[in-house]
Amino acid sequence: MNIKDISIITLASVILIYFLVFFVGYQQISFNSDGTALENQYNGKGPENGHYGLHELYATVYAGILLFLASIISTIILYRRFGKSRFTWRPVIGGIFVAGIMGLGEAVEHNFDTLWHEFFHYLVMLGGLVAMFLLYIGTQEYRMQYRQGGKPASTSVILGMIIVLPLVAFAVALNAVEPYDARVELPFIYLTAAPTLFLSGLTMLESYRQKEENKVLMGFLAMLAGTVTGLTVIALLARIGDIGNHAFIFALGQSLQVVYMSATAMLILVFTFTMWALADSNC
């Protein structure tokens, strides 16, 4: 399987998932008379239960669980096979694990009141930045391995970054007085969006520069950077739509968020089993 085949499978999966989500989940969306707010409340709970009670909440939960399980499976398999590698693999495995944490946050945040709801919410939004940083380190270490030499990130450093992630999310959540507190959320969005996009661009550029050394690995890392960044940016877009009371932007963002979570999960699994099958090659 070459990178072209993998790209075709990824694209086909995204299209399939999109139509499934659109026809099954989003037929339930309705708007008020002026088209600015979402209606069709679920269980009479109103907006505080998340996503304004839209039935797509189920799709979000299932897609988040799928992404989390995919990342756990990938982390176990890749660590058992490549965990002793000096370069590249430990930060890549860490980035995949953090992407799964984003899925977990999306799946469970609506089951809690303000503090823990916000904790998992900011775990999602901050997770994209941390995942991208780890994937970028992975591409840099691949350059070290074949060109420049250098000291790779230690396991303790990577674990430290992963441990700091929930601590920062919890610290931010402590400042919120209600779910989706705009006073906290808007500055957080503006603070994290730019560096996430910047790291994504660097990761994809570095992957492209090194594609001749390993087309499969670098191609996967570029695609994974794209899906994780897309997931993060779309989540931020949906929140801006909610805060600004733009129903279309909110609904579109939530729809694409489910698609990107499912696509990221699929890509992680394809990546994991492909690299396992190619373990005897130079990667």
Q: List the chain pLDDT tens, one digit each, 283 residues.
A: 555 665 666 666 666 655 655 554 444 444 444 444 444 433 344 444 445 555 556 777 888 888 999 999 999 998 888 877 766 788 889 999 999 999 999 888 877 878 888 899 899 889 888 998 998 888 887 776 655 556 777 778 888 889 999 999 999 999 888 877 888 888 888 888 888 888 888 888 877 777 666 677 777 888 888 888 888 888 888 887 777 777 677 777 777 888 888 888 888 988 888 888 877 555 4
pTM over 0.85: no
Q: How far apart are CA 153 and CA 140, in angstroms?
A: 10
Eight-state DSSP code of residue 154: P
**The pLDDT value given to residue 41:** 36
What residues contact residue 137 under an 8 Å CB cut-off, 6+ apart?
91, 153
Q: How far apart are CA 112 and CA 122, in angstroms?
A: 14
Instruction: Report the candidate in 66, 8, 21 with the shortest Cα–Cα distance to residue 252.
Output: 21
Answer yes or no: are the C-beta atoms of 222 and 259 closer than 8 Å. Answer: no
**The pLDDT value given to residue 130:** 92
Reported for 82-87, long-range contacts at CB under 8 A and 24+ positions apart, including other chains, are: 82/275, 82/279, 86/145, 86/152, 87/141, 87/142, 87/144, 87/145, 87/152
Q: How far apart are CA 277 and CA 71, in angstroms?
A: 18
What residues contact residue 135 under an 8 Å CB cut-off, 6+ apart?
91, 92, 95, 199, 203, 221, 224, 225, 228
Residue 92: both structure tokens together: 């890549």
Residue 136: both structure tokens together: 């970028």
**The pLDDT value given to residue 114:** 81
Instruction: Report the candidate in 269, 231, 241 with the shortest Cα–Cα distance to residue 51.
Output: 241
- 3-state SS class at 211: coil
Q: Give ∠ CA 167-64-248 in degrees, rounded to 5.
A: 100
Residue 19: other Cβ atoms inside 10 A: 11
- Which domains, and CATH codes, for the chain? 3-277 (1.20.1070.10)
Reported for 249-254, long-range contacts at CB under 8 A and 24+ positions apart, including other chains, are: 250/38, 250/52, 251/26, 251/29, 251/38, 251/54, 254/51, 254/54, 254/56, 254/60
Instruction: Report the candidate in 104, 101, 28 with the shortest Cα–Cα distance to residue 60.
Output: 104
